[in-house]
Structure 1
């Protein structure tokens, strides 16, 4: 089945633009993992050595970050990679980059594939964090060995009540398209739990993506 390369609407923001809002609000360590991949059976063992990276977002900082990190990971594997923002710089247009102009520039420079990153969905998960308590029994007192004395003279217990916290879960999709046919070659879905920083999440996603693409013989 033919799958055409396309840009989603502005409402379909990239995961990294959402990170700019969430960064610093969540103290837990970021956790990003690929949950599944699909490879077009028509691809075979062909690998691509000239790839354009395109982060689909209207947030310039997020676009720059994810495209740069993906480019770096691909270049470390011997791939000629370029950011889409270097081919078609950001504009003030509300409709985003002109896909026809971008494709033409990509073809003119003889790139073979386009790697996109976009947000599919996000969820908020509420969980209960139990509190901590502790005590320091002083057994030298006689009353400690009998219930009445123990209950009456109980050493004050330090108690920290539990609380509820919310965590963001981001569902991402990374796609690889052939430039000339515009067909979908490979797709990966991943999750990121309450990422604490834009930079860390972007670097992790780029590293995981490049590694999996190499494992599936799409790049060197």
Structure 2
């Protein structure tokens, strides 16, 4: 699956307002009969040219996976911060460096696409056909109640949508074991993004039968 080297640029602007992030998995695939039971040491690489974002995402995933009892190696600890295959490094070098960490699984995270969605938010007022208020019974009562609200100007609201892809590979064979595509709406900061992203990806892995859920998860 195609991946991109730039991703989650919104996470550069790290604000600290508390806000829940809407992340949902839109599509996933699992190799037939594959499970994650044999993967105990995961190599994580967030494919990004932005060092603070890469560090934050890999560290956040490391902390979560270690809480699940897995050993984790981060690409930031193995390759130089500005490392790229564009520098001429070949498959043998990259794979051998990863395998030398003892990793048996490779988890990649990449941004496929980023969009700005513009939504028109109308003026005040709402319609509920199931309700009948007293002011419906007379024209003036109805008109004078609704007109101020419905005459209020609307406005356009922009929100960012990030389309992410998460892949799990076997570190020995390099074979794709599991993949998922997800959408994240308007993350306020990197910490809020990670909470929603990790929860959604973990739940999808359980749903796909890749991992067995632990008690309380």
Q: Same fold (TM over 0.5)?
A: yes
Q: Are the aligned partners of 1:28 and 1:194 in contact in 2 as well (CA < 8 Å)?
A: no
Q: Measure the CA separation in 1 of the matches of 2:88 and 2:50.
A: 12
Normalization by structure 2: what TM-score? Answer: 0.73
Normalization by structure 1: what TM-score? Answer: 0.72
**Which is further off, 194-203 or 52-61?**
194-203
Q: Are the aligned partners of 1:38 and 1:187 in contact in 2 as well (CA < 8 Å)?
A: yes
Give the root-mean-square deviation of aligned CA atoms. Answer: 3.5
Larger-Rg structure: 1
Q: Are the aligned partners of 1:52 and 1:84 in contact in 2 as well (CA < 8 Å)?
A: yes
What is the deviation of 1:28? 7.7
Match 1:57 to one of 48, 54, 71: 48
**Which is further off, 171-180 or 35-44?**
35-44
Residue 114, structure 1, aligned to residue 127, structure 2: no
Question: Would the alpha carbon gap of residues 146 and 117 (structure 1) be closer, same or farther in structure 2, given more than 3 Å must change?
Answer: closer
**Structure 2 counterpart of 1:186:** 178
Question: Would the alpha carbon gap of residues 69 and 104 (structure 1) be closer, same or farther in structure 2, given more than 3 Å must change?
Answer: same
What is the deviation of 1:92? 6.8
Question: Would the alpha carbon gap of residues 103 and 17 (structure 1) be closer, same or farther in structure 2, given more than 3 Å must change?
Answer: farther
Match 2:210 to one of 211, 214, 217: 217
1:21-45 CA-to-partner distances (Å, cap 9, x unmatched) read: 6x66xx9852111122110115257
What is the deviation of 1:162? 1.0
Question: Would the alpha carbon gap of residues 169 and 104 (structure 1) be closer, same or farther in structure 2, given more than 3 Å must change?
Answer: same
What is the deviation of 1:176? 0.3
What is the deviation of 1:194? 1.6
**Structure 2 counterpart of 1:103:** 95
Residue 83, structure 1, aligned to residue 68, structure 2: no
Q: Are the aligned partners of 2:19 and 2:192 in contact in 1 as well (CA < 8 Å)?
A: no
Gaps of 5+ in 2: 126-137
What is the deviation of 1:218? 4.1
Residue 30, structure 1, aligned to residue 21, structure 2: yes
Match 2:30 to one of 20, 33, 39: 39
**Which is further off, 43-52 or 56-65?**
43-52
1:102-152 CA-to-partner distances (Å, cap 9, x unmatched) read: 32122122210100000111222221112237xxxxxxxxxxx996xxx9x
Q: Measure the CA separation in 2 of the matches of 1:122 and 1:91.
A: 22
Q: Measure the CA separation in 2 of the matches of 1:219 and 1:101.
A: 34
| 3-state SS, counterpart of residue 64 of structure 2 | helix
Q: Are the aligned partners of 2:8 and 2:162 in contact in 1 as well (CA < 8 Å)?
A: no
Q: Are the aligned partners of 1:14 and 1:118 in contact in 2 as well (CA < 8 Å)?
A: yes
| 3-state SS, counterpart of residue 68 of structure 1 | helix
**Which is further off, 84-93 or 102-111?**
84-93
| 3-state SS, counterpart of residue 82 of structure 1 | strand
